[in-house]
Amino acid sequence: MTDIEDRITNLISDAIKQELAQSNDINAPFLNIEDYTSKTGKRFRMTRVQRDAGLTREQAFQQFMEGMMEKS
């Protein structure tokens, strides 16, 4: 069951990354974890809640970015 969920998550993530890469009007300040690190000089850290929920770093970063976008 989780294999299917992981495959769907990866498919959606790849599609979003592809769409953002093609778009010139990106409002997100960071495209991915590496971009966050290079622009801020800080390492992206998952919260304890995210780790306990079993999220991957990419999923946690996506959640972080969604939170940033809601604040804007």
Per-residue pLDDT tens digits for 27-55: 678 888 999 999 999 999 999 999 999 99
DSSP type of residue 28:
-
Q: Residue 21's pLDDT band (boundaries 50, 70, 90)?
A: low
Q: Please provide the size of the chain in residues.
A: 72
This prediction's pTM: 0.60
Structural domain of residue 54, as residue ranges? Answer: 30-72
Q: What is the model's pLDDT at position 18? A: 73
**68, 31 contact by CB (below 8 A):** no
Q: What is the model's pLDDT at position 24? A: 47
Type of residue found at 9: T
Q: What is the model's pLDDT at position 25? A: 47
Q: What is the domain count for the chain?
A: 1
